[in-house]
Chain A
Amino acid sequence: MGSDKSYKSFIRGLLYLLPSLVILGVFQFYPIIKSLDMSFYIRYNYFKDVVHQRGFGNFIYIFNDNQFRIALKNTFIFALGVVPASIILSLGIAVLLNTKIKLRGFFRSIYFLPFVTSVVAISIVWRWIYHSRYGLLNYLLGLVGIYPIQWLTDPKWAMVSLIILSIWRGLGYNIIIFLAGLQNINLQYYQAAKIDGASKWNRFRYITIPQLSPTIFFVSIMSLINAFKVFDEIFALFDKRPGPLNSCLTVVYYIYDQFANQYKYGVASAAVYVLFIIILFFTLIQLYIGRKKVHYD
């Protein structure tokens, strides 16, 4: 298939790549640099695309901006609320699904269902579920004697509502990944442990968990990254507001607000880069540690 270094094969290869290369160039490679550049724009004319002054002003601004600090804090709270709970639940369900039961495929399809549905549509459904007076959740809680909770209007509960919705939505995806991981574990380990008389719990603790640790690690990092990017849910759940008293103002919401409502492109770009660095940090951990350390073979 063509020799390695000839001029002709190089042109041929590039021609096949041309469509994707052009699109990626304009909409992926260029904006990465442009975005960094924009975060240093201090005085600029957006309409004429002239920059009068560059500097660190935007970064100084966001770190002194109370809103941004709230956004960072909320994003971390959100991630801490969603990721561990989601992993424990989905791992538990995956382990149960991996036993010899009937209807396994059926359960798997059900759990995965939220993943294919529009986040916005389903968040509007949850808005209705959380309705303090006529919502399904308060009705069900009322049956066991719990007083109605102001899920979406009480700043103390708004974040909880968002976390519940996100766990519910992300569960199926994690379960699928865990099931794939579980099916890669060599059954001989279990047989050997059974012969040695290891209990079910010990088999889980000393075979499943270590063998699955690369998958658990992968899912944790991916969930963390996705948690840092939460936006659609908030927009739909709280009707274009970041929750009562900014209680669900997250980093991406802050970026959106600065960019689309306040037209502060430089400030928004600076916030984007802070987010990017946080996400890049997790990505690199995943790439390096994930490959080296979390292996038991």
Chain B
Amino acid sequence: MIKWIITKKPLFNRINLQKFPLDKLLIYIILTVGGIVTLLPFLWMISTSLKSSNEVHMLPPKWIPSKIMLENYFVILNRVPFKKYFINSVLVTVCTTVGTLITSILAAFAFSKVKFWGRDMLFTLYLGTMMIPGEVLLIPNFVTLSKIGWINSYKALIIPWIVSVFAIFLLRQYFLGIPKELYIAAKIDGSTDWNYMWNIMVPLSKPALITIGLLKVIYSWNSFLWPLIVTNSPTMRTLPIGLTSFSSEGGTEYHLMMAFATMIVLPMILIYFMLQKYIIEGASRTGIKG
């Protein structure tokens, strides 16, 4: 192989051969090492999740289990109320995402296409909330919810999260980019503002809506501190809460913990690989999550 490379390259390229590829090779090596370090925990998670409990505690560790134990996943499905956690997580994620999309469309439309007194002041007020860390809201919101008796309910997990100022902001920018002529044309055709919004603006803003939706899905699915505080019965737990409680009970059963973790992580990884351009685009717009 080496001989082939040397003999194939013409002599006058020698300087390039010495200097240029070495640079590039180094770049590839660094990036590959970084990539391996990034992926290693995921591979280790999946590998462990397929091991028998004996093989988990074996040195040196094997990357490929001698027997693939898919059973671990079924053990998790049956041992803990995994199905319940899963349904809760899906329900909360779907509802918060749909809710966020609806409230964002309405608010973004008002902030971009309806002119009214106090609009800019209200928009500034909205944007101001992005400066408030979620921790500030935690205790009073808990008190509010316990006063109206929502603790341990889906309402507590969903309702406070169906508005995202970042989503409104992103969508408003998008709406502002839609030419006025479309609105005038729609008006001449006798369309109301309401119909114009749903029939013209929303379909035109699909990329922005997908981005907003995906960021919300990821955020909701992974959300931890809030569901931890507002739920205390096992039947209301979402997946991440279920995993932490399983891991304190499960003690040393790392193969089962890893199977559990894999089932939380995998859906998001699949969504990410299918639609990553929207996710990366959205994430690069801001440092504020959710």
Which residues on the B side are within 8 Å of A38 (C-beta)? 139-140, 143
Which residues on the A side are within 8 Å of B280 (C-beta)? 108, 112, 176
Encoded as 1 (CB less than 8 Å from any B CB) or 0, chain A from 74 to 117 comes to: 00000000000000000011001101010000011111111111
Question: Which one, A55-63, A119-127, A190-198, A206-214, is touching chain B?
Answer: A119-127
Report the separation of the CA atoms of residues A231 and B225 in the bound assembly, to the nearest whole angstrom.
8
A289 on the B face (CB < 8 A): no
Main SS class of interface, A? helix
Indicate if the CB atoms of B56 and A265 lie closer than 8 Å: no
A157 on the B face (CB < 8 A): no
Number of A interface residues in the complex (CB < 8 A): 96
The smallest beta-carbon distance between A247 and chain B, in angstroms, is 19
The smallest beta-carbon distance between A181 and chain B, in angstroms, is 10
State which of B58, B104, B243 has its C-beta within 8 Å of the C-beta of A120: B243
Which residues on the A side are within 8 Å of B244 (C-beta)? 120, 124, 235-236, 239-240
Indicate if the CB atoms of A13 and B116 lie closer than 8 Å: yes
Main SS class of interface, B? helix
A24-B163, A97-B31 are known contacts. Are A116 and B109 too (CB-CB below 8 A)? no
Report the separation of the CA atoms of residues A119 and B243 in the bound assembly, to the nearest whole angstrom.
11
Indicate if the CB atoms of B243 and A1 lie closer than 8 Å: no
Which residues on the A side are within 8 Å of B264 (C-beta)? 117-118, 120-121
CB closest chain-A residue, reference B168: A20
CB closest chain-A residue, reference B187: A1
CB closest chain-B residue, reference A171: B38
Report the separation of the CA atoms of residues A273 and B140 in the bound assembly, to the nearest whole angstrom.
12
The smallest beta-carbon distance between A179 and chain B, in angstroms, is 8
Indicate if the CB atoms of B133 and A275 lie closer than 8 Å: yes
A204 on the B face (CB < 8 A): no
Which residues on the B side are within 8 Å of A16 (C-beta)? 106-107, 109-110, 114
B159 on the A face (CB < 8 A): yes
A4 on the B face (CB < 8 A): yes
A17 on the B face (CB < 8 A): yes
Encoded as 1 (CB less than 8 Å from any A CB) or 0, chain B from 100 to 130 comes to: 0011101101110111111100100110010
Inter-chain pairs besides A239-B248, A275-B136, 11 sampled, C-beta below 8 Å: A2-B114, A19-B107, A21-B122, A26-B144, A34-B140, A35-B139, A121-B265, A124-B261, A134-B57, A168-B41, A255-B135
19 A-B residue pairs with Cβ-Cβ distance under 8 Å, sorted by A, are A4-B117, A9-B117, A13-B114, A16-B114, A17-B106, A31-B137, A31-B141, A32-B132, A107-B34, A112-B276, A117-B222, A120-B224, A121-B265, A125-B45, A128-B258, A225-B133, A225-B287, A255-B138, A259-B142
